[in-house]
Amino acid sequence: MRSHRIFAALLLALLAPATVAAQRPEGIWYARNDDAGVRSFVEHADRIAVVAPQVFAMDSTGAIRGGIDPRIVAAARARGVRLMPLVMNPGFNLEALHRVLTVADARATAVRSLAALCRDQRLDGIQLDFENLHVSDRDAFTAFAREAADSVHRAGCTLSAAVVPRTDDDRGPLPYHQWMYDYWRGAYDYKALADTLDFISYMTYAQHGGSSTPGPVAGYPWMAASLDYLLALGVPPSKVSLGIPAYSDYWFSGWDARNGARPRGNDIAYPALMAIMQQAGARPTWDKRQKSWWAMWERNGVYEHAWLEDARAFRDKLALVERHQLRGYSVWLLGLEDPRTWDVVGPARR
């Protein structure tokens, strides 16, 4: 009998590493209260561990307003998907966020409001989505996160933060680079936030966008360098959810009455961008270094550009999660994805 017990223990020990290795990373999918996103969530809920609607806004007094589409709530409850909405500074307003972080009354109200949101909505977690945060408010944000985490944990929810990535602490040579660092990339103390919060969602997308020249949504070398920088700071992989884009970007010649002709870059759904390219007779090319598709074509003598994120790009970037044994991944945005991406994702980790 004793030999049977020893054999059983050895067998369990041998099987345990394989079981852990086979466990799927946690998949967080961001959503909005729009029909395309809701439809995609309902259809693919079995492949989503956490749904994170970007629907709540915190004003300069610390009060929170907003609401989750009832269809998302119903599907999440019925299908066992954890509900973790985002609370953002509306319009990524810099002044409102600064006031919440630095004025005692507003900060206290904000901390109470987050806990109340957790209790009243019966949430599994809350994620802070505070962006356009000036680098001078870095320590104030960390202090706020500590206070908020204590309050939200007591209310029974996890608390995390979505943070803009960077590859180093260099402000860069040009005004654009310096603006991006001072107002978007430089304001997060990643190690302190990871130590305080349950985890951070590292938004390794929007490398290029509407305010930049055309380029990859999330080029693989940039994603890898951003992740290497984060982990070198001592942030535990178990506290990192890697941002992966499900959207594509399209640059074209825009026009508005105030500014006249000017280039525009828009986030766009993969199927919609493929339809535009098909109409234009354009075919995408795979960039093996960036692990993304790109295309350029002429319309009435003016060139348009596209960088596309499809299932292949998603799969190759998901490999970073597995390689570094990260907690999981955070995807922006439900309803914009290549439908074949769900074959890559597979069943959710519960």
Residue 229 has pLDDT above 60, yes or no: yes
Look at residue 263 in the predicted model and tell me its pLDDT.
67
Position 15 in a domain = no
Task: State the Cα–Cα distance between residues 226 and 169, nearest whole angstrom.
Answer: 11
Confidence of residue 261 (pLDDT cuts 50, 70, 90): low
Host domain of residue 34: 24-246+310-345
Please check whether residue 116 lies inside any domain of the structure. Answer: yes
Residue 259 has pLDDT above 80, yes or no: no
The mean pLDDT value of the chain amounts to: 93
Contact 183, 147 (CB under 8 A): no
Band the pLDDT of 258: cuts 50, 70, 90.
Answer: confident
More reliable by pLDDT, 211 or 216: 216
Residue 332 has pLDDT above 50, yes or no: yes
278 belongs to a structural domain = no
- Assigned domain for 279 exists: no
Query: Is residue 136 in a domain?
Result: yes
Of residues 91 and 259, more confidently modeled: 91
pLDDT in tens, 10-57: 333 333 333 333 468 999 999 999 999 999 999 999 999 999 999 999
Query: Distance between CA 95 and CA 89 in Å, rounded?
Result: 10
Min mean pLDDT across 203-212, 254-263, 287-296, 333-342 is at: 254-263
Write the pLDDT tens digit of every residue in 157-215: 999 999 999 999 999 999 999 999 999 999 999 999 999 999 999 999 999 998 899 99
Residue 255 pLDDT > 90, yes or no?
no
The enclosing domain of 188 has a CATH number of 3.20.20.80
Say what the pLDDT of residue 14 is.
34
Which phi-psi region, left, alpha or beta, contains residue 278 (left: φ > 0; alpha: ψ -120 to 50)? alpha
The string over 174-206, giving b where at least 16 C-beta atoms fall within 10 Å of a residue's C-beta and e elsewhere, is: eeeeeebbebbbbbbbbbbbbebbbbbbbbbbb
On whether residue 3 sits in a domain, the answer given is no
Mean pLDDT over residues 107-121, rounded?
98
Report if residue 291 sits inside a domain.
no
The CA dihedral of 282, 254, 210, 39, to the nearest 10 degrees, is -70
pLDDT in tens, 306-327: 999 999 999 999 999 999 999 9
Long-range pairs of 28-31 with CB within 8 A, sequence gap ≥ 24: 28/52, 28/84, 28/201, 28/241, 28/328, 28/329, 28/330, 28/331, 29/330, 29/331, 29/334, 30/54, 30/86, 30/330, 30/331, 30/332, 30/333, 30/334, 31/72, 31/333, 31/334, 31/335
Instruction: Work out the pLDDT band at 6, boundaries 50, 70, 90.
Output: very low
Any domain includes 200 = yes
Residue 4 has pLDDT above 80, yes or no: no
SS3 breakdown of the chain: % helix, strand, coil, rounded to 5? 45, 25, 30
Find the angle CA(200)-CA(106)-CA(150) to the nearest 5 degrees.
45
Number of folded domains that form the chain: 1
